[in-house]
Amino acid sequence: MVKAVRYYSKLGNTKTIAEAIAEGAGVEAVSIADEPQLKTYVDVLYLGGAPYANIMAPELKRYAEDLSKEQVGKVVLFTTSNWSRRTVLALKKILKEKGIPVDNDYFYAHMLNIKGRVAAAQEFGKKTQ
Ligand SMILES: Cc1cc2nc3c(=O)[nH]c(=O)nc-3n(C[C@H](O)[C@H](O)[C@H](O)COP(=O)(O)O)c2cc1C
């Protein structure tokens, strides 16, 4: 079972959660700013980002749009924000339209409780398959 964690983070919150999920999953969290495309097939791709003025970063949207079902078995989403979970919904819509399976279960952390969610994010990375 090959897992990978990819994220886009402007302020560091999603990065912290991505790193916790990655620790649980036993892999490295990689920013899509550093690696704009997957290099090899993964069974489970954890993909996360945040909303900025109601929309996800264009880099993350492009990443999801460029992903193909030949590159991933399925995607598991995560997001951080002040209130909105729309990043999850928007990513799910893009990915499903491409025929990429997306878990209904996703991980959410409020921006004011990132540290308080680290242990749960590690568990999330461990358990989801
Ligand atoms: C310019 C800006 C716009 C934001 N707009 C929203 C928003 O529309 N909805 C929301 O729930 N949170 C919003 N937030 C909060 C961020 O989504 C939240 O801080 C998130 O954890 C940032 O993730 P990052 O640290 O990985 O960049 C905004 C933050 C900034 C800086």
The pLDDT tens digits for 80-100 are: 999 999 999 999 999 999 999
Cβ atoms of 106 and 123 within 8 Å: the answer is no
Q: With a 6 A CB cut-off, is 40 part of the ligand 1 pocket?
A: no
Looking from the CA of residue 11, the nearest atom of ligand 1 is 25
Pairing between β-strand 3-7 and β-strand 29-31 as defined by DSSP bridges: parallel
pLDDT at 128: 65
Q: With a cut of 70, which residues of the chain have pLDDT below it?
A: 128-129
Is residue 39 classed exposed, middle or buried when 0-12, 13-18 and 19+ CB atoms within 10 A define those classes?
exposed
pLDDT at 104: 95
Return the domain boundaries, the chain: 3-123
Q: With a 6 A CB cut-off, is 14 part of the ligand 1 pocket?
A: yes
Residue nearest to atom 31 of ligand 1 (CA): 52
pTM here? 0.97
Cβ atoms of 7 and 32 within 8 Å: the answer is yes
Residue nearest to atom 1 of ligand 1 (CA): 52
pLDDT at 129: 62
How many angstroms does the Cα of residue 128 sit away from the middle of ligand 1? 26
User: In 10-125, at which residue ranges do the beta strands (DSSP E only) sit?
Assistant: 29-31, 42-49, 51-52, 55-56, 72-81, 107-110
Alpha-carbon span 32 to 38, nearest angstrom: 9
Cβ atoms of 17 and 50 within 8 Å: the answer is no
CATH of 3-123 given 2.40.240.10, 3.30.310.160, 3.40.50.360, 3.30.2090.10: 3.40.50.360
